[in-house]
Structure 1
Amino acid sequence: MTHRLAAAFRALIALAAVTGVTIDCVQGDPLVAFSFFTVWTNTAVAVALGLGAARAWTGRPPLPAVWSGGVLLCISVVGLVFHLVLDNPASSFNQAAALDRLTGARAVSNQLLHTVTPIGVALDWLLLTRPAAFRPRHAALWLAAPGAYLAFSLVRGALLPAGHPTRYTYPFLDVAAHGYAGVLLNALVLGLAFYALGLLLVAADRFRPAVAGRRNRISSLGAGGLK
């Protein structure tokens, strides 16, 4: 029964991610929606938590920790960057005014993608996984996704015409405003912060207490498996 409760919780998180991504695609241009790191990451959440739910339901081994930890780091980045940088009037990159104008389905999607799924994935990791699954080397490997997104964003921006409304999806990656040197500096600062966050997750995972006994511990998407 415990495994099935875990499966249900993960399925709900996956559903939240799918719902948010679907709303963004239906309400706008799917190609534009999938140019955002938020949508990339929530799609990964939907896949990872969906697989985690299926594995918990059937009692199969979890996904490798390097993959589940990467999803955890990336969705944590999504939530933190949104709330601390983009939706923060004190930030030089804030978009709080535009975000305040979101209504209806777009407002729901915004909350699902930037708040509900990051909290849900974090709770799954904290409450439904065995500790000490992450390794220090994982923190560097997890940077592959943000690095790939940086390359994608710069290439996409170079191919789109000047003045295109969604040429650069995030203000700190806007080459037209900051130049390539400024964007690469922003990316370096953020990358170091993401790496530090990854190391923090590894340390927290190693030293956090088990919420339940090991024998009855839920086999989760982030525990055990291949490292």
Structure 2
Amino acid sequence: MTTIQRAGAGLIAAGALGALALQTYIDITKEGDQLLAAIWSQARYFTNLMMFSVGIFFAIQFANRRLAGPGWSTALTVWIVLVGIVYHVLLSSTHHPEGGDIVVNLFQHTIVPIAALVFWLAFANKQGLTFKHPLIWLACPIGYVAFVLLRGAFDGTYPYFFLNPKDIGWPGVSAYVVGLGVLFYVSGAILVGIARVMGRGAVSEA
């Protein structure tokens, strides 16, 4: 990695993990949660799981001084960018953070997703990606949906209205899941297409 690449990876890791740390601190001090209870509660949200994944992913690149392979790099970019898109399209109108939550929300849904996308466009390995890869990357959101629905069946709590069968019914949940699955695949395919175009451009310049 170049100095700029390593600095970028370090800043993204710090932003993602720092936002999670601040969220945990807020949950403990304001809500009175214990540490493990706060972490277990946060694990209900796709946003927090992806922030943790992105933070660790970029921290590893920073520590190893090497760029990751194209598959993981592009998959995580798709997932974290869609965290921001889904939030701003479906959830932001009913979410009104206050105090420290404003900072957490800004990093989780705007700064980190944009930074990860910019890093991918500017620096990430993109060779060898095909349009089959986005199908593989669907395993993450599908697994998350299964986790949320199973957990909700036991404790009756669902993190998002579009995954809550008590609010919108199972047909509504199914429709959202299918729609979001299409969105995840199309978003992944767009990045694959960009990677292939940029790869051809690099070959032509060479």
Could you tell me the TM-score, scaled by structure 2's length? 0.87
Select the residue among 188, 195, 210 that pairs with 2:178.
Answer: 188
The residue aligned with 1:120 is: 115
Select the residue among 46, 53, 64 that pairs with 1:37.
Answer: 46
TM-superposed deviation, 1:130: 4.4
Matched residue count:
192
The structure carrying a bigger helix percent of its residues is: 2
The residue aligned with 2:62 is: 53
Q: 1:106-146: per-residue Cα shift (whole Å, max 9, x none)?
A: 11000111111101110111111344442222111111110
- Runs of 4 or more, structure 1, over 3 Å off, are 130-133
The residue aligned with 2:30 is: none
Q: Is the 8 A contact 2:24 2:39 kept in 1?
A: yes
| Equivalent-residue separation in structure 2 for 1:131 and 1:189 (angstroms) | 27
The residue aligned with 1:177 is: 167
The 5-angstrom pairing of residues 92-103 of structure 1 reads 96-97=93-94, 99-100=95-96, 102-103=97-98
**Root-mean-square deviation (CA), in Å?**
1.7
Q: 1:76-128: per-residue Cα shift (whole Å, max 9, x none)?
A: 110110112212xxxxxxxx24x23x122111000111111101110111111
| Equivalent-residue separation in structure 2 for 1:72 and 1:55 (angstroms) | 19
| Equivalent-residue separation in structure 1 for 2:101 and 2:163 (angstroms) | 23
Q: Which runs of 5+ in 1 are unaligned?
A: 88-95, 162-166, 215-227
The residue aligned with 1:27 is: 26
Could you tell me the TM-score, scaled by structure 1's length? 0.79
| Equivalent-residue separation in structure 1 for 2:57 and 2:69 (angstroms) | 10
The 5-angstrom pairing of residues 73-112 of structure 1 reads 73-87=78-92, 96-97=93-94, 99-100=95-96, 102-112=97-107
| Equivalent-residue separation in structure 2 for 1:133 and 1:83 (angstroms) | 32
Q: Is the 8 A contact 2:70 2:127 kept in 1?
A: no
TM-superposed deviation, 1:21: 1.1
